[in-house]
Amino acid sequence: MASTAHGNSAAAARLAPEMKHPDNSAIVHESNGKLRFEISHLNFFYGPKQAVFDLNLNIPKNRVTALIGPSGCGKSTFLRTLNRMNETIRNTRVEGEILLDGQDILQMDVVGLRRRVGMVFQRPNPFPKSIYENVAYGLRINGYKGRLHDLVEHSLRRAALWDEVKDYLHKSAFALSGGQQQRLCIARALAVDPEVLLLDEPCSALDPVTTAKIEELMFHLKDSCTLAIVTHNMQQAARASDFTAFMLDGKLIEHSETSKLFTTPKDPRTEAYITGRFG
């Protein structure tokens, strides 16, 4: 993964100094000003229980942002606010502002939002269809009229899966290995050409070899897509992300370039977590 390390150092060379939000949370700005998400004073509730507290975070375009922290700290809840996936859960409430390219996502058509902001879950969840139809599904329901096969192939290539399945496109997706199924789900999400891809623990059920393939895939995808990943694997965050945000008890504790956060964390709670003293 030397190329990823190079990507991190190259990204660091292009960054302006960190700026401080009035609440003292670090807000990273790129010198070219290209931010994909701007999240301000975000609070999220499951009924009366608050899960995310006054979170402020910017997610730069065409970079990988990792979210780390102990179980139950709000990482996945926060990630799912970015495409309003939490709205599928009854009795939830969100406060604050989430801007996608300057537009308030809470005012967007949710179908259009999820077309722009795709998601891949912790465990592979292919549809009970063929490999081909899994990838074509989103294109069909969005009324795509072009050469379907070309886009299916393109999506499978982007997910680094084409060479493994090109002779078996009409076999059941369930015939694939777990790692292949996860890359198929990534291909399915990529088929509608999202601007953002959210990944919620995408490698937690995968072996180290397949995990390395997913990480390499993430490195190449950020040329055309912004990625945000929840991970419990701090080595993965260090290898595969440009920026890392550490959350604890529903609050954003620290957000910085990955190389800085893992070598010179500013908050003692961040240092305690990444050195294994809790979590």
Least reliable range by pLDDT among 113-122, 141-150, 236-245: 141-150
How far is the C-alpha of 189 from the C-alpha of 183, rounded, in Å?
10
Scanning the chain, the segments in alpha helix (DSSP H) are 2-13, 75-81, 110-116, 131-141, 148-158, 162-165, 178-190, 208-221, 234-240, 258-263, 268-274
pTM for this structure?
0.84
- pLDDT tier at 28, thresholds 50, 70, 90: very low
3-state secondary structure of 138: helix
In the numeric block, the tokens 């977590």 are attached to: 273
Least reliable range by pLDDT among 14-23, 127-136, 162-171, 180-189: 14-23
Q: Which amino acid is at 255?
A: H
pLDDT at 11 over 50: no
Q: Which two tokens stand for residue 75?
A: 């990482």
What is the residue extent of each domain of the chain? Answer: 2-274
Using alpha carbons only, what angle is made at residue 238 by residues 56 and 157, rounded to the nearest 5 degrees?
95
Scanning 166-224, the segments in alpha helix (DSSP H) are 178-190, 208-221
pLDDT at 157 over 50: yes
How far is the C-alpha of 2 from the C-alpha of 98, rounded, in Å?
34
3-state secondary structure of 271: helix
- 2-274 homologous superfamily: P-loop containing nucleotide triphosphate hydrolases (3.40.50.300)
Q: Provide the pLDDT for residue 279.
A: 64
Average pLDDT rounded to a whole number, residues 38-54: 97
Query: DSSP characters for 71-119?
Result: TTSSHHHHHHHTTTGGGGSTTEEEEEEEEETTEEGGGS-HHHHHHHEEE
